[in-house]
Amino acid sequence: MPGYIQGRNVNLTFRPPNRGPVRALSNFDIDINEGEFLSIVGPSGCGKSTFLNVLLGLVKPDSGDLQIQGKPIVGPGTDRAMVFQEFGLLPWRSVQDNVELGLELKGMARDARRKVSQPLIEMIGLAGFEGHFPHELSGGMKQRVGLARALATDPHVLLMDEPFAALDAQTRDLMQVELLRVWQEARKTVLFVTHQIDEAIYLSDRVMVMTKRPGRAKTIFPINLPRPRDYEMRTTPEFNELKLEIWNSLKDEITV
């Protein structure tokens, strides 16, 4: 049975002017189930973020087939939203106005926008901060706003490109817990790119390891750990066995 998201033999080569071509993806295959949380890990430059941009519809592959619910991806759509590493908040807009940006661009009236944004702001734990501006927020709070903004348009698929990479270690751990809580409430299909094996295991139903460039799927690991998950599970033998297996698959792709 085909996945909710299905990719077959996706190939992409960048051809920048005055430089040689760079082959980013080669015969890339992927299947993601509806409501699944799938993480991708791989060496730097292997095409992880590139694939998210292909799935978002911002980059067109040279060849191959990529579908959501059996429909080819031909460009951006409201069924997908991205959460970026750099927060991407507009500094002149308040928390509430940043969350409502996508709704405003769709032409939704102010009162209707408030009915959507307020429950999301409460869900991400920022009630009382609606009128604050990005420079008044911590890194973790900014990332929560970015997550709420992505959820506001009610996408079916949430794409997350190393969203916690800029955070300190303690805030990153807290945001992982928060993301799982939000995902369990919203039940979106999530594709999460990270360099952190621990993070991938803790969050995911499955973890894909990609090869070095040109990137393709190398190994997919089912994460058969019980949910809901707590921080302490990272110390269990099962967790650390998975971490070692994934590392052994990944290390051969890393060139120093």
Domain ranges of the chain: 1-77+186-256
**Quick one: angle between helices 110-123 and 139-152, nearest 10?**
130
**Backbone φ and ψ of 146, nearest 5°:** -60, -40
Q: What is the mean pLDDT of residues 129-143?
A: 91
pLDDT of residue 84: 80
Q: What is the mean pLDDT of residues 125-143?
A: 91
pLDDT of residue 235: 92
CA 250 vs CA 14, 52, 100, 199, 243: distances in Å:
24, 20, 39, 15, 10
A 10 A CB-CB count for 195 gives: 14
pLDDT of residue 118: 93
pLDDT tens by residue, 219-243: 999 999 999 998 889 999 999 999 9
pLDDT of residue 130: 93
**Among residues of the chain, what percentage have pLDDT more than 90?**
66
The radius of gyration of the chain's CA atoms, rounded to the nearest angstrom, is: 18
Q: How would CATH label the architecture of 1-77+186-256?
A: 3-Layer(aba) Sandwich (3.40)
pLDDT of residue 188: 92
Q: What is the pTM of this model?
A: 0.91
- Tokens matching residue 208: 């894909």
Q: What is the mean pLDDT of residues 166-180?
A: 86
pLDDT tens by residue, 15-58: 988 888 899 999 999 999 999 999 999 998 899 999 999 999 99
Assess contact for 137 and 95: CB atoms under 8 A. yes
Which of 164 and 41 is assigned the larger pLDDT?
Answer: 41
- The band of 202, judged by pLDDT with boundaries at 50, 70 and 90, is very high
